Amino acid sequence: MTPRLASATLMPLADALARLAWPPVPARAVPVAEAVGAVAAADVLAPHPLPRGRTALRDGFAVRAADVTGASPYAPVPLPAPPDWVEAGAALPPGTDTVLPPEALAGDEAVADAPAGEGTRAAGADVAAGALVAAGERVSALHAAGLALAGVATLAVRSPRLALLVTGETAPDALSPLVAALLAREGARVCATIPVPDDPAAIAAGIAAAQADAVLVLGGTGFGRGDRSAEGLARAGSLAAHGIGLRPGETAGFGEAGGRPVLLLPGRPDAMLAATLALARPLAAALAGRRAEAGTVRLPLLRKLSSVIGLSEIVFLRRQDQGVLPLGGAEIPLHSLLRADGAVLVPPDIEGYAGGTMIEMLPL
């Protein structure tokens, strides 16, 4: 397919996303410490309940609650046998179900009582049956700590490798770290950032040589004389679309080369960020096998948001105490874009939203 002309029809964003729904990369087993940031390829189950038996939550004396019922300084209760001292985290001795603080005993008598279970944690209360990490969930540092405590040594994860080709028009390269950080949230990792000149042969060679599961070309997607990314992709493989119904980001495109997806991101900051949110993030999530996030953040708009009919539109947002404030979309100045901490994707059949409307915010 040859690169499109500026006047050609834009591919609807929904169609582009359907074409970018690639299968997940193969899973690999890694130690728990190396799994942070990757996506679990299967449910990770605890090998046994944690704790295995009732344990102490505080230092004190392990007793049977029934043996000290009603004890007080005015009515001490003699203990049937000297109680065992336990440290926090230790297993309770057989026949005991409560830990009394040190001051609850005076000699061999209890001067305070406690209900059964007080000062203790029941077997399986920390980890019971079920998944510690669900398939499709990104493994966090907290997950890793919990897995290690539960005795899990390794798990199967997916972490697609992405190569970023930075074209000459984006020099100095100020945007690839931002793209890499956003895609890391989907479980992907950038394995190489490669500068290439605005030359179709060089871009094609860079795409072909990249050792990655997907390639993202940053910049050179427009229709100027120096914009050669679409031509480079066409030489390296096939160009499926050049021009997406996304504002900003209309000049984005995609295709494949060597059996891998290749995504073309515009070089202008607002357009690159919009295309990363609307196209690159879903592609990275698909490759990682990441499931849709539960509990999407929904917040009210603090003022009216207008959009263009016929195009999907990314509008950048600033979170405030009471909701989110629209900052702008296409051609937003850099000083406003730097204030954004989220965005909303407005469908092509909607002219915008009234103030007070609850919207789903894409975090930055």
Burial degree of 208 (CB within 10 A; 0-12, 13-18, 19+): middle
Print pLDDT tens along the chain (364 aa): 445 444 458 999 999 999 999 999 999 999 999 999 999 999 998 888 888 899 999 999 999 999 999 999 999 999 999 999 999 999 999 999 999 999 999 988 999 999 999 999 999 888 877 778 999 999 999 999 999 988 899 999 999 999 999 998 655 678 899 999 999 999 999 999 999 999 999 999 999 999 999 999 999 999 887 789 999 999 999 999 999 999 999 999 999 999 999 999 999 999 999 999 999 999 999 999 998 764 468 899 999 999 989 999 999 999 999 999 999 988 899 999 999 999 999 999 999 999 999 999 998 8
Given a contact cutoff of 8 angstroms between Cβ atoms, the answer to whether 233 and 251 are in contact is: no
Structural element, H or E, at residue 149: helix 141-149
Q: Which two tokens stand for residue 174?
A: 């100020």
pLDDT of residue 171: 54
Domains and CATH numbers, the chain: 13-25+159-288 (3.40.980.10), 29-50+126-157 (3.90.105), 55-121 (2.170.190.11), 298-363 (2.40.340.10)
pLDDT of residue 49: 85
The whole model's pTM is what? 0.85
pLDDT of residue 7: 42
Q: How far is CA 327 from the centre of its chain?
A: 24
Buried b / exposed e along 229-249 (16+ C-beta atoms within 10 A): bbbbbbbbbebbbbbbbbbbb
Buried b / exposed e along 156-168 (16+ C-beta atoms within 10 A): bbbbbbbbbbbbb
Q: Which two tokens stand for residue 263?
A: 């995504």
Q: Which two tokens stand for residue 146?
A: 């919990």
pLDDT of residue 46: 86
pLDDT of residue 295: 47
Given a contact cutoff of 8 angstroms between Cβ atoms, the answer to whether 261 and 216 are in contact is: no
Rg (Cα) of the chain, in Å, rounded?
29
pLDDT of residue 75: 95
pLDDT of residue 5: 44
Q: Which amino acid is at 347?
A: P
pLDDT of residue 311: 94
Other CB atoms within 10 A of residue 76 CB: 17
pLDDT of residue 339: 95
Q: CA 299 to CA 341: how far, in whole Å?
A: 13
